[in-house]
Chain A
Amino acid sequence: MGRPRQSYDGVVLTAPVSVPYERYSIETAHWWIARALREVLKRADLPLKDLDGFSVASFTLFPDTAVGLTQHLGLCPRWLDHIPMGGASGVVALRRAARAVQAGDADIVACVAGDTNQIDSFRQLLSSFSRFAMDASYPYGYGGPNANFALLTDRYMHEFGATRADFGRICVAQRANALRYPAAIMKKPLTLDDYLAARPIADPIALFDCVMPVAGAEAFMVMTEDEAIRRNLPFARIAGTIERHNAFADDPVQLRGGWAVDVDELYATAKCAPQDMDLVQTYDDYPVISMMQIEDLGFCDKGAAPDFLRDKDLTVTGDFPHNTNGGQLSAGQAGAAGGFIGLVEAIRQVTGQAGPTQVADAAKALVSGFGMINYDRGLCSSAAILEGAAP
């Protein structure tokens, strides 16, 4: 065990922004990121030239990075970050920006994730995703993440006796949540029968286990509590965060993620327990990954998530509100913004700004991230516990 983690006292999250997604876009990642950035600046009433910290996550910016964006968007930050961690990028952006603000390296950091989705851009993204994927996974059927997660799901079902219906209940509840969320892409009600009868994609994965690649952007701001109060912005405090990469490398199949390494420390720093959460936002590229997080983040034992969730209501009004705006499964996966969607929604929830998806009296939220299928498993995991500021 290393030295104790420092708290994030005095640093807060504000200005949650979701730019409504589109299935296909003729615009670029730069355009989507600019829209999100413009909106957070407007919320914070901050002129562009006064923004001194900028963090960006995106897959489709090539050949640019955060550096190119500074000139493209007219920024002059004294703190700049680019986070290539896909589904884990939201919490990782938060962690880094919070420390920068805490240490005085930046006063206000805008954290933005955005990607475009043009015809054929998903195929092109797959083909150059990582070296191991290029060498050792895409030549094998080129199923992309669908095939990778099909393998994990197959093994998970075999090890723990999970059924398709167990996964289906997660997807059905999220669709119900998405129907309340105006910006969700998937607007048709989904029943368990629809789920079970869906077109197979990569057995045992079928259509409604998969996210829809879309274009979109998400953003939030990190600043001192004093700054947020001065600007009259509702804010969330950061009770604890964790991050881990390439955990359990010797597990032959990924049935657990890096959260399991650090979960005790997460709750210890946050001085709370899983039962204290008013809502949970997991990274839901596939429902099996949500189950993995629910287990590894301490809500139940390994392999017990199917049982645990069977008598839970995962909708906004239920006893275990989960992915309250529909998550990626129903709102869409906007590239790296998929690593932000749960975090941005959680900030809205604990600050009472979630509108139609608002969970009653939401004060504490757990957000977790998962990203980057480099070869046979997701390498990055992250989680954060947020608390609404007492009024």
Chain B
Amino acid sequence: MKQHIKIIDYKAGNIASVRYAFRRLGLEAGLAAYPDELKKADKLIFPGVGHARAAMNILKGKDMDQAIQSFKGPVLGICLGMQLMADSSEEGDMEGMGIFQEKIKRFSGNFKIPHMGWNSLYGLKGPLFKDVPEGSHVYFVHSYYMPQSSQAIGLCQYGEAFTAACSKDKFFGVQFHPEKSGKPGMQILQNFIDL
């Protein structure tokens, strides 16, 4: 059975890289810019790079925020995509979708911001991290983060422990970029395909 994965296209994400990553796994992911285009999809990828409120405004302008929240299958939010699924963000006082009950905060402290590079994961749980060993390094680029959460399925340490991955029902979020994270990243995308 061939499944249809669609990538939300709202001009705020590195869509090309996500498409290429799925292509390497033998799956052609389509793009969806409007709610209509989600009808035939089995699963959604919700990428995101850039400014939280600006991105949310684009989504709301097309009613895509509602379409994502009411989508019937699994959804994977990546980076800003995950943050937009939270309650709110300090970045531009963004009001989010409220799927993950956390407030996104800005890193502050005596360390480099953005948190950029390869960092290790721990506390990995659930099907998204099947065959992904504790301590695996994945690629992060972000200045805002989700604090440690009861919905976390993976943690990371930068200044303090923060949520690297979370889930609620069929919604998943990862703060890092699986499409740019070498072998463990590809395993995570394969696990999403296998859900």
A and B found bound together: no
